[in-house]
Amino acid sequence: MTSTRSRMGTSRLGGVPTVLPPPDSPPRPGQLGFDLAADVTAAPSRHEVLPDVVHVAGWLDLARQRALADAFRTWAVPPAGLRHPRVPAGHLMTVQSVCLGWHWQPYAYSRTADDTDGAPVKALPPDVIELARQAVRDTVGAADGDRYEPDAAIVNLYAPGARLGLHQDGEEPSDAPVVTISLGDTCVFRLAGVDRRTSPFTDVELRSGDLLVFGGANRRIYHGVPKVLDGTGPQGLGLPPGRLSITVRETGL
């Protein structure tokens, strides 16, 4: 199954490469984020938001959050590095994105970063593959996690003011679950329906270390991020201001 968006073509203008500030940049004035050294992580809490949509609060401990933040800085460096993607109509997305395994350019997959430098996409690391399998085990079930074969990740950085409109993850033939891990600032993650992007909505607050997995009847649900709550993430992760999402998929390509 593929979406109608995948037949829209891609923008001839391409994306815009971006560069991360250094990890030791001072926090923004008035930042409310808590100090990692002082944080005591609560036990993970599982909640089924909608059928086949599961939120696990506090899924990742602080050490794993730091490790992923460090890895992101490596993924973001060219070739095939971090960029603002551009939709077929021509405007730039406010999120910054880097891809692993398969390169996603709205609205198509390729093995090279065709909207920037054309370099081969970086491999999906084995530890991210295993982390995604564990996410499916912890939400869908052990057997499903063992069968899960993720081969792509879209890693989005939401700098202050960035958001993501309602959309379907529909370019993948596979119906396997989608795994999203949140780091940094808290966001409002909005869910609509499989056949609509209009209200009523279900909103979930995703905090640093939270997991969201959706599949089954809601694998193609319309979803987006209308708001990121500035300055709510933990200090000391080594991320720039904002939210980082790591979304892992089994594409079936």
Q: Compute mean pLDDT per 10 residues along the chain, 253 residues long, and list them.
A: 52 82 63 50 90 98 96 98 95 97 96 97 98 98 97 98 96 97 98 97 98 98 98 94 98 97
Separation in Å, CA 21 to CA 25, 138, 177: 7, 34, 33
Give the three-class secondary structure for 13. coil
pLDDT at 30: 44
Is residue 18 included in any domain, yes or no?
no
Q: Domain range spanning residue 84?
A: 4-13+46-249
Q: Of 183, 222, 187, 228, which Cα lies nearest the Cα of 204? A: 187
Is residue 127 included in any domain, yes or no?
yes
Is residue 166 included in any domain, yes or no?
yes
User: Could you give the number of structural domains in the chain?
Assistant: 1
The number of residues making up the chain comes to 253
Is residue 30 included in any domain, yes or no?
no
Is residue 91 included in any domain, yes or no?
yes
pLDDT at 1: 43
pLDDT at 242: 97
pLDDT at 23: 80
Is residue 41 included in any domain, yes or no?
no
pLDDT at 42: 74
pLDDT at 3: 47
Euclidean distance between CA atoms 109 and 152, whole angstroms: 10
- Whose tokens are 């599961």? That residue is 54
Is residue 29 included in any domain, yes or no?
no
CATH of the domain at 219: 2.60.120.590
Is residue 9 included in any domain, yes or no?
yes
